[in-house]
A and B are shown apart, each in its own frame.
Chain A
Amino acid sequence: QVQLVQSGSELKKPGASVKVSCKASGYTFTSYAMNWVRQAPGQGLEWMGWINTNTGNPTYAQGFTGRFVFSLDTSVSTAYLQISSLKAEDTAVYYCAAVAVAGPFDYWGQGTLVTVSS
């Protein structure tokens, strides 16, 4: 069955970096784009952007440029989200999601909590 398994919770200090992984299984990794979505505590979902799993070309939503980097390692069917110069307001649960908007393919990771605190 299709699964997206994300890396575990992270506690980081302001100014540090974090890299979240999302390992896909049960389907051909390069068949579907990978999206990243943020959910801050008590808030709704924010789409951060997506990465083309064929070309590796990322697209970032407004507000997620500069410190946020999407990358892939197709040899292990894994997508990554790296956030640099962490701020307290980056504290959130981060989800990866493989979605085909025209159809029923829609799978999400379990989420990774990133806490930024001194």
Chain B
Amino acid sequence: SYELTQPSSVSVSPGQTARITCSGDVLAKKYARWFQQKPGQAPVLVIYKDSERPSGIPERFSGSSSGTTVTLTISGAQVEDEADYYCYSAADNNLVFGGGTKLTVL
């Protein structure tokens, strides 16, 4: 089975750049997606196809890929970006999730 590995936490000050990585063999052949989850709210997609941004998502959110690692970058992180972020991918008709990263902005 496939696995995706994320750091458990990342912390930045407001206005700084936050980078969250996600690693796994499956990412060498399948696209990654990222979603943001705030307490008590439904998850919201922020990046798909490694680096595409859905409409309505602020430009400060970007994604990149290199080999078996994808990175979510939040340039000029805002206090409202504080949330859990999960990467995931679709492989062999399964969805595979990373363990999630808690982003603290303060």
Contacts and interface: CB of A to CB of B under 8 A. Distances in A.
Interface string B70-106: 0000000000000000101010011111111000000
A106 B52 CA distance: 13
A61 interface: yes
A99 B44 CA distance: 12
Nearest to A4: B42
A51 to B, nearest CB: 12
A101 B97 contact: no
A106 B86 contact: no
Given A4-B42, A45-B100, A95-B43, A106 B54 contact: yes
Contacts, number: 54
Interface string A97-111: 101011110111111
B97 A46 contact: yes
B41 interface: yes
Interface residues of A, number: 24
B35 interface: yes
B45 interface: yes
Interface in B22-59: 31, 33, 35, 40-45, 48-49, 52, 54-55
Interface in B56-74: none
Interface residues of B, number: 26
A38 B99 CA distance: 13
28 contacts: A37-B95, A37-B97, A44-B100, A45-B86, A45-B88, A45-B100, A47-B94, A59-B93, A62-B1, A97-B43, A99-B90, A101-B31, A101-B33, A101-B90, A101-B95, A102-B49, A103-B49, A104-B45, A104-B52, A106-B33, A106-B45, A106-B54, A107-B42, A108-B42, A108-B43, A109-B42, A110-B40, A110-B42
Given A37-B95, A47-B95, 12 more contacts: A44-B97, A44-B98, A44-B100, A45-B88, A61-B94, A62-B1, A99-B90, A106-B33, A106-B45, A110-B40, A110-B41, A110-B42
